[in-house]
Amino acid sequence: MTAEQTDEIVRTDVVSAPGASPERIGELPWIEDAGKVAPKDARALSALFFEQLQVLEEGTHEYQYARNTLIEMNISLVRFAARRFRNRGSGEMEDITQVGTIGLIKAIDRFELSREVEFATFAVPYIVGEIKRFFRDTTWAVHVPRRLQELRVDLAKARDELATHLDRDPTAKELADHLDLTEDEVIEGIIASNGYTAGSLDLPTDAGDTPGAASRTFADILGEPDSAMETVENLHALAPLLEELDDRERRIIEMRFGQEMTQAQIGAELDVSQMHISRLLTRTLGKLRAGMLA
C-alpha cells in the first residue's frame, strides 16, 4: 500500500468520526462542535489539521479555522491538567482552565509534525507550566521577589526530606547545609514564605472560648498610633534646643507654657510691657521652631 493510499484511509476515518461533517473547508473536514470530539478521534483529526496548518497561509480563513478547531478539540488536555490544581490556592477552576488554555495555544503554535511525538505529550508540559506560572505570580498575598518564591518551594521539599530522615523538624542550619545556602538566606526564605497567605482581620480571636459570647476579631484588638508618642519625640528633640536659650528666654518659656501665665502676668513679673514679652516670645519660639525643623 502506498503512502498516498494510507493517507486517504486516515482522511476517510477522520471524516466519519463523530462530530465531523462531509462538508469541507479547503482540505479540512468541517467539524460542527469540535469540543465534543472524542479523544481518540481528536488525535487522528489533530494530525490532519496540523498537517494543513503548516501549509496554510497565516491570517486566512482556512488557517483560523484549523487553529481554532485544534484548540477546541484538545481542550480536554487542559481540563485533565487543571484537575491537578483544583485544591491549590483559592483560584477557581474556570480561571485555571483559562490559563491552561493559553498554554495549549502556545503548544499548538509551536508544534511540528516532524518531532514525531504525540501532540498530547508535547502540549501537557506547556499547559502545566502556564498554570504553575499563574499560581507563582498571582497567589502570593504579599509580593516577594521571584528568587524567594522559588526558594519557598525548595525549602518545603528540603523540610519534608529532612523531617523524614531526622524524625523531627529540621533547623535553619540543617536546611542551609542541605540546600548549600547560608543560614541567613534560609531565614530570609522562611520569613518570605509568610507572605504566601494572609489572614483576615475579620477572623475571630476567641472562637469557641465562651459559648454564646460575642467574639472579637483581630481588627477589634489591632493597635492604633498613640498621639502621645509624637509628643514624647518632640520633647526629646526640644530639650537640647532649650538648653541653648539664655536665662531670660528660658524663664519666659517656662512661665508661659510651664506655669501657663498670660503675657500680661509675665510682663508684670519681669517689669516689662506686654508688647515686649510678645516680641520676645515670638523670637524665641521662632528660634526653637527652626531648630526642630532642622
Q: Which domain holds residue 286?
A: 237-293
* Packing angle, helices 146-166 and 183-193, rounded to 10: 100
Give the Cα separation of 256 and 222 in Å (integer): 39
pLDDT (tens digit per residue) in 239-253 = 888 888 888 888 998
Adjacent-strand bridge partners of 217? 204
The reply to whether 219 falls in a domain is no
C-alpha cell at 108: 499548538
Percent of the chain with pLDDT over 90: 12
The reply to whether 53 falls in a domain is yes
My answer on whether 16 and 119 are in the same domain is yes
The confidence band for 191, taking pLDDT boundaries of 50, 70 and 90, is confident
My answer on whether 90 and 118 are in the same domain is yes
Query: Between residues 234 and 212, which one has the greater pLDDT?
Result: 234
What is the predicted pLDDT for the residue at 105? Answer: 93
My answer on whether 178 and 272 are in the same domain is no
Answer whether residue 12 shows pLDDT above 50: no
Q: Which of 104-108, 210-214, 236-240 has the lowest mean pLDDT?
A: 210-214
Number of domains making up the chain? 3
My answer on whether 23 and 124 are in the same domain is yes
The reply to whether 54 falls in a domain is yes
My answer on whether 90 and 155 are in the same domain is no
Give the Cα separation of 54 and 34 in Å (integer): 20
What is the predicted pLDDT for the residue at 106? Answer: 92
pTM above 0.85, yes or no: no
pLDDT (tens digit per residue) in 147-161 = 877 788 888 888 888
- CA neighbor of 189 nearest in space, from 148, 160, 153: 148
CA count, 13 A, side-chain hemisphere, 23: 5
Q: What separation in angstroms does the CA of 214 have from each of 203, 211, 218, 222, 255?
A: 13, 9, 13, 17, 51
Cell 494543513 found at = 52
Q: CA end-to-end span of the chain, whole Å?
A: 95
The confidence band for 146, taking pLDDT boundaries of 50, 70 and 90, is confident
My answer on whether 58 and 94 are in the same domain is yes
Query: Between residues 131 and 90, which one has the greater pLDDT?
Result: 131
Cell 466519519 found at = 16
